[in-house]
Every structure is written in C-alpha cells, then in structure tokens.
Amino acid sequence: MVKQTAGRDQLGGFAPKFAELNDDVLFGEIWSREGALSLKMRSILTVSALVSKGLIDSSFHYHLLSARENGVTKGEMAEILTHLAFYAGWPNAWAAFRAAVKVYGDGDGADGGLFGLGEPNEAYARYFTGNSYLNSLTGPGDGLFLANVTFEPGCRNNWHIHRAKSGGGQILLCTNGRGWYQAWGQEARPLLPGSVVVIPAGVKHWHGAARDSWFSHVALEAPGESCSNEWCEPVDDEQYGKLD
C-alpha cells in the first residue's frame, strides 16, 4: 500500500488532526491490513459504500483508480455497479458508470492497447499456453529490440531464462490490462498498467495475462554479450488457476 499524504497535502494546515487520521489511521492502518481483507475486497466495499451514499466526486474517481490497480477488472466493476443499481438507486449507478467508463475505458484490450496488436506470435507459439500477438517496435538494425506483446485472457508463456555471458536480461513495461509475473521460487506478482519488471539474466520466470483479462506489455531486450533464451516447461495449470 502506497503511503497516503492527501490529508496533509490538502488539509494539513487547516485540520491537522483530521489529516493525521486520514493518512495514518484510515490509509496507514485500516487499508494496510491485507491479512484481514485483501486490497481488492476493500476497494469493492469502498466503491459500494460511496455509490450507496451518492458520493460520486473526485474521491470516488480516486477509489475507482485504486480498484483497478487492486485487481478489480472492468467486467467485475460493471457487474458491481449493475448489482448496486437495485439497492443504491438507478441515478447513483448511472453517475458511477459515467465515472467508471472514464477510468476503465470502453475497450477490453483486445486491440493491443497503446502500441497496437500486431500479428499472431506464431514463431513462438509452441512456448505459449493460449494465443499471443507481437508488434515489433524497432528493427534489427536499431540497436535495441522493443516489442509490444499482447496476451489473450489466460495466455502465458512457458518458464524461461534469458542467458548472457554478460549484461542481458529483459525489462517489461506494462501498458494495458492485467497480468502476472513470477520468478522461480517466488510468489506471483500482479501486473497492471504502469508496472515495470526488471528481469536479470539467469532468472527463471514466466509472465502473461490474468484469466479474465487481456494484457499487453512492451518487452525490452537488455543489451549483453552472447544473449539467448532458454525455454523450459509450461506453467502448471493448477497453480496458474489459483491466481486471482
């Protein structure tokens, strides 16, 4: 959870105690208790409470952004607001939907997002579970290879290792949708637009889309000596299926 400073930034001089309670207690203690409730569930509860009270203001926009960052998908948000409409009121739901469309957008990510879908990734299809797409952003003579990779929902690549005598590795700049990255021996890490993953050479890992979301990232191949990829086994279906 990112340390919150909005209370002190906006009300620190006028209402310092309120600012302290907002930043240190509400966001510093309550929101940080992920062992009791996940950030995703806290976002759902907060959005539901604000819609029920008709508080569709700048704070609601902030909590929609937080909900997206905490893993509430576009489809889930649409279903949440549809459900709330019957309990919180139709006008409140309409206002909430207008705000949600601005945050989540109309697209589902099937267009490849910011850098476009490209072509089916047929050359590497045997190393992927599901369909992926590749849009090369630089050419062989440009010195640094950049490509936009898009994964359909549920698609992920096999475990693999970037080998290099020196340097090497890969950097992922996540641009669209929701996905996962996992290094061998570590917990899977959720990926959202703005996430950056630095993968050193020699680290066994995989990355791909969440089960219910398209996902795109720009892959940057770090310069190095004698660089190559070692492709390994597919990601276990049962373990992948447990990722939320």
Q: Check residue 107 and give its pLDDT.
A: 64
**How far apart are alpha carbons 61 and 184 in whole angstroms?**
37
Q: Which fold has domain 33-104?
A: AhpD-like (1.20.1290)
Question: CATH 2.60.120.10 residue ranges in the chain?
Answer: 113-241
Structure tokens at 195: 């996430």
Mean pLDDT of the chain: 90
Please enumerate in sequence order all residues whose Cβ is within 8 A of that of 101, keeping only pairs 6 or more positions apart, or say none: none
Does residue 2 register a pLDDT over 70?
A: no
**How far apart are alpha carbons 184 and 193 in whole angstroms?**
23
pTM (two decimals): 0.60
Angle CA 51–57–59, to nearest 5? 90
**How far apart are alpha carbons 155 and 131 in whole angstroms?**
6
pLDDT tens per residue, range 202-239 = 999 999 999 988 999 999 999 999 999 999 999 999 99
Q: Which has the higher per-residue pLDDT, 8 or 148? A: 148
Q: Check residue 123 and give its pLDDT.
A: 92
Identify any residues that bridge with 167 across adjacent strands, giving them in sequence order: 224
According to CATH, what is the number of the domain 113-241?
A: 2.60.120.10
Structure tokens at 6: 């909005």
Does residue 169 register a pLDDT over 60?
A: yes
pLDDT tens per residue, range 102-114 = 887 756 677 788 8
Question: CATH 1.20.1290.10 residue ranges in the chain?
Answer: 33-104
pLDDT confidence band for 90 (50 / 70 / 90): very high
Q: Check residue 106 and give its pLDDT.
A: 57
CB 175 within 8 A of CB 115: yes
Output DSSP code: residue 32.
T
| Candidate from 1-10, 64-73, 155-164, 225-234 with smallest mean pLDDT | 1-10
3-state per-residue secondary structure call for 7-46: HHHHHCCCCHHHHHHHHHHHHHHHCCCCCCCCHHHHHHHH
pLDDT tens per residue, range 113-128 = 888 888 999 999 999 9
**How many Cβ atoms are within 10 Å of 193's Cβ, its own excluded?**
18
